[in-house]
Chain A
């Protein structure tokens, strides 16, 4: 047998052996999965307490942000390598990179949630270039700062003072029952806000640069009367 063929055979054997070794490592990871856990498709990382959340990256996978006693981050196992996070002072900074899809198709997406961020209390959230679902927060004050063509679904939140700032073609929509005593809504740079699912005592809107605010008929009439 020629030396080239011998070397090639050794290489093939070495590759097959490494493949089997890698599979033994994968087997160990498989046995660590808790199949009774609802979040078995996700890897959960516990974090320290923080009150400001900054998320940026891509809009390919939706990001759930919800209130929970214990702060944690759960990332879809297949997307674990795309998550970077760190805490700086009181701020959790997350970068969740990946594919970018057309913002127009985000509302109808069927892609599973890529990241679940749980926090007990959030005074401020800054979301850039991402598709977000902010759900179930109940606290005195809540500020959402939406940037860079981000799209945010805001569902079942309660706050005495709610501030939503949308810029750089961002859009947001209130779903189900969101309540606020005073809602400060600021839209600029061609941003769009749908306020149909928001109940408030006082609305303080501010708009610039061809932005669009969509209100229910009753809310619009109430605003005109004032």
Chain B
């Protein structure tokens, strides 16, 4: 990998789409402000961790759309051929897209979110603190975003037209299938168990004598297994995206 090629690829992407990105940035700040305004107006109805909800809606919505703007040229044949012929390896192209849509995007998103959050708290004279990314394991959603980023990039490299819509439909379908398979295996392994809800790779809940009982992975097992999911899964998805782009070159 040549770092100067990566730098040039990132510069090209930013220069070509700068106007759209700046408008989107303003739109993101507007959307976050609007959501904060909503939760402030209906603060008695919205109880609980509403700020976390605003953070996640903003992150996945804007992150998905921004990630989908990578390899945009592939949806148009002549532009796609031009992109594939750009003097850089497919690995450099994928690496620059990952760097922009995960690291750079996350840094900008966090900056915009906390700016809006701070403005909201100061304008409404609230006693609360800024959203705590590292409290209650909320930072795990950042890893979930990386997996989502890998899926959107893979969708972009796989589908020529309407890639974002197709990827979203596929993600929803896969989540439903995974959950169904997870419940099925749990009920198969534990006779007479009726799972009321489950989180694949983490926990499940069942009903016993009218009471919901939660079964969670032991913390040591979780600590050993989750890095596999959080780090290897996005890496695998980015790797498959690279293979898909490489196949197009051939």
Distance, CA A24 to CA B217, complexed state (A): 10
Is B185 a contact of A81 with CB atoms below 8 Å?
Answer: no
A26 to chain B, nearest CB (A): 5
With A18-B201, A22-B225 known to touch, is A4 a contact of B216 (CB < 8 Å)?
no
Is B215 a contact of A24 with CB atoms below 8 Å?
Answer: no
Nearest to B45 among chain A residues (CB) is A102
**List of A residues within 8 angstroms of B243 by Cβ:** 2-4, 7
Is A98 a contact of B136 with CB atoms below 8 Å?
Answer: yes
Distance, CA A100 to CA B51, complexed state (A): 11
In chain A, positions 77-123 with a C-beta closer than 8 Å to chain B are 77-78, 80-82, 97-102, 104-105
Distance, CA A210 to CA B182, complexed state (A): 56
Distance, CA A82 to CA B221, complexed state (A): 17
A80 to chain B, nearest CB (A): 6
Partner of B244, one of A4, A77, A99: A4
Scan B163-191; emit 1 where CB is below 8 A from any A CB, else 0.
00000000000000010011001100110
The stretch among A28-36, A63-71, A157-165, A213-221 that forms the contact with chain B is A28-36
Distance, CA A104 to CA B47, complexed state (A): 11
Q: Judge if B213 is at the interface, Cβ distance under 8 Å.
A: yes
Q: Judge if A40 is at the interface, Cβ distance under 8 Å.
A: yes
Is B47 a contact of A19 with CB atoms below 8 Å?
Answer: no
The stretch among B57-65, B77-85, B102-110, B202-210 that forms the contact with chain A is B202-210
Is B212 a contact of A41 with CB atoms below 8 Å?
Answer: yes
Distance, CA A78 to CA B204, complexed state (A): 9
Is B181 a contact of A19 with CB atoms below 8 Å?
Answer: yes
Partner of A7, one of B136, B137, B203, B239: B239
Distance, CA A29 to CA B247, complexed state (A): 45
Q: Judge if A223 is at the interface, Cβ distance under 8 Å.
A: no
How many A-B residue pairs have C-beta atoms within 8 angstroms? Tell me.
106
**List of A residues within 8 angstroms of B190 by Cβ:** 27, 30
Is B215 a contact of A76 with CB atoms below 8 Å?
Answer: no
Is A33 a contact of B186 with CB atoms below 8 Å?
Answer: no
Q: Judge if A23 is at the interface, Cβ distance under 8 Å.
A: yes
Nearest to A27 among chain B residues (CB) is B189
A8 to chain B, nearest CB (A): 5
**List of A residues within 8 angstroms of B162 by Cβ:** none
Nearest to B245 among chain A residues (CB) is A4
Distance, CA A40 to CA B211, complexed state (A): 10
Is A100 a contact of B49 with CB atoms below 8 Å?
Answer: yes
Distance, CA A2 to CA B236, complexed state (A): 16
**List of B residues within 8 angstroms of A193 by Cβ:** none
Q: Judge if A224 is at the interface, Cβ distance under 8 Å.
A: no
Q: Judge if A16 is at the interface, Cβ distance under 8 Å.
A: yes
**List of B residues within 8 angstroms of A2 by Cβ:** 243, 247
Q: Judge if A206 is at the interface, Cβ distance under 8 Å.
A: no
Is B212 a contact of A23 with CB atoms below 8 Å?
Answer: no
Distance, CA A97 to CA B52, complexed state (A): 14
A21 to chain B, nearest CB (A): 8
Is A77 a contact of B189 with CB atoms below 8 Å?
Answer: no
**List of B residues within 8 angstroms of A19 by Cβ:** 178, 181-182, 185, 200-201
Is B214 a contact of A78 with CB atoms below 8 Å?
Answer: yes
Is A97 a contact of B244 with CB atoms below 8 Å?
Answer: no
Q: Judge if B3 is at the interface, Cβ distance under 8 Å.
A: no
Q: Judge if A62 is at the interface, Cβ distance under 8 Å.
A: no
Scan B230-250; emit 1 where CB is below 8 A from any A CB, else 0.
000100110110011011000
A58 to chain B, nearest CB (A): 9
Distance, CA A104 to CA B43, complexed state (A): 12
**List of A residues within 8 angstroms of B128 by Cβ:** 100
Is A99 a contact of B48 with CB atoms below 8 Å?
Answer: yes
Distance, CA A33 to CA B213, complexed state (A): 10
Q: Judge if B41 is at the interface, Cβ distance under 8 Å.
A: no
In chain B, positions 88-140 with a C-beta closer than 8 Å to chain A are 128, 135-137
Is B213 a contact of A7 with CB atoms below 8 Å?
Answer: no
Q: Judge if A20 is at the interface, Cβ distance under 8 Å.
A: yes
Nearest to B218 among chain A residues (CB) is A29
Is B47 a contact of A101 with CB atoms below 8 Å?
Answer: yes
Q: Which 3 A-B pairs have the closest CB atoms?
A: A78-B214, A4-B243, A99-B48
Listed by A's residue number, 14 A-B pairs whose Cβ atoms lie within 8 Å are: A4-B243, A15-B233, A18-B228, A26-B215, A27-B186, A29-B215, A33-B215, A40-B208, A77-B213, A77-B215, A81-B136, A97-B136, A99-B48, A105-B47
